[in-house]
Amino acid sequence: METIQDVQTSPSTQTDNDKLTSAEQGKLWATYVGNTMSVCVLSYMMNHVEDKEVKMVLQNALHLSGQFIKSIKEIYNQEKYPIPVGFTKEDVDITAPRIFEDDFYLHYLKYVAKAGISLYGIAIPLATRTDIRQFFTNSMDQTVKLINLVNSVLIKKGLLVKPPYIPYPETVDFIDKHSYHNGFFGRVRPLQALEITHLYDNIENNGTSKAVLIGFSQVAKSNQSKAYFRRGLEIATKHYDTLSTIMQEEGLTSPPIIDQLVTTSTVSPFSDRLMLFHKLDMYAVRVRAYGNAMSMCARHDVLAKYARLLVEVGNYVEDGSNILIDHGWLEQPPQAIDREALTSNRK
């Protein structure tokens, strides 16, 4: 009988000479561009951090992003594949005054590591080339280690509010009433554990996003960017309040806001292009997070709230992408052949 290791290393399963599939191209592209942005942001944070433990975590994260970029470049060069522009030193001024306190950096790293885990987790089962699978598997492993390190330091510093406790069930039971789905009429049951889990996660994400948007709205150079970030702040605040209220009505605690960790600086360390892409990227991840939450939710009232919030986030992402397109700032991801354009060109 073949073992998992046998299957992984068997010559008949090696496909490293194959061209990159659409899934591999897309995920490599997103990983490359995202990590070039991370290098800019983390390099700026490293220039200001004072707390030794926070600095150690930032160094770890910055090293990982650099390694991911290096590995993808090697794959691109091997494939004679055009290397994306991503973000460069032109998009960051590491000497600009700090806009976030040291403690914020830990919350931020948890925020972006979640996005990385989501990206790599989807890539692994879709990758068919062993070298690409190995790259994303290693990326996932290293990012999980990073988020564990972040959580350990947050807990040590007393900065992490744990998800709420609920009682252990006394017996194993089965659902026998259709009222389990109620939310608008009749008896409404308490939230179940998976619903609480995703509510907590999305509240935490919105809390961190609020702080990022406060900072970006203070330092953005153009009025258009400032207005976009202020609108994003209104959305994040509304979503934080909406989801927190659901928890509070059940007597459950929520992650606190961290707005106080934003300084009063109005000098931008980042290009408007980087900041716009950053929020576009993170709100796109929010779409997935809300979708995941809906898939684990059975109460109609909570589902309806998620559906409404999801539409708001989707519209915000679209408007942000239009701003980037208008300025010629949105890099084109790999795409399928435009047959209609080819036909038109032949006429």
Query: Over the stretch 65-123, which tens digit does the pLDDT of each residue have?
Result: 999 999 999 999 999 999 999 999 999 999 999 999 999 999 999 999 999 999 999 99
Question: What local confidence, expressed as pLDDT, does residue 181 receive?
Answer: 67
Question: What local confidence, expressed as pLDDT, does residue 339 receive?
Answer: 77
Q: What's the fold here for domain 179-326? A: Ferritin (1.20.1260)
The span from the CA of 137 to the CA of 127, in Å, is 10
Contacts 24+ apart (CB under 8 A), 87-90: 87/33, 87/36, 87/37, 87/39, 87/40, 87/273, 87/274, 87/277, 88/36, 88/40, 89/40, 90/271
The span from the CA of 221 to the CA of 271, in Å, is 8
Domain ranges of the chain: 18-156, 179-326
Let me know: does 136 contact 23? Beta carbons within 8 Å: no
Q: Is the pTM of this model over 0.95?
A: no
Question: What local confidence, expressed as pLDDT, does residue 248 receive?
Answer: 96
DSSP result, 130-176: HHHHHHHHHHHHHHHHHHHHHHHHHHHTT--PPPPP-PPPSS-----
With CA atoms as reference, report the closest residue to 62 among 49, 77, 75, 76: 49
Q: Taken in order 274, 279, 280, 281, is the CA torsion positive or negative?
A: positive
Question: What local confidence, expressed as pLDDT, does residue 284 receive?
Answer: 87
CATH 1.20.1260.10 fits 18-156, yes or no: yes
Helix (H, G, I), strand (E, B) or coil at 246: helix
Task: Tell me, yes or no, if the two domains 18-156 and 179-326 fold the same way.
Answer: yes
Question: What local confidence, expressed as pLDDT, does residue 16 receive?
Answer: 56
Let me know: does 215 contact 262? Beta carbons within 8 Å: yes
Q: For tokens 């009749």, what's the residue?
A: 186
| Chain segment 308-333, per-residue pLDDT in tens | 999 999 999 999 999 999 999 999 99
Residues (pLDDT < 70) of the chain are: 1-17, 178-186, 345-347
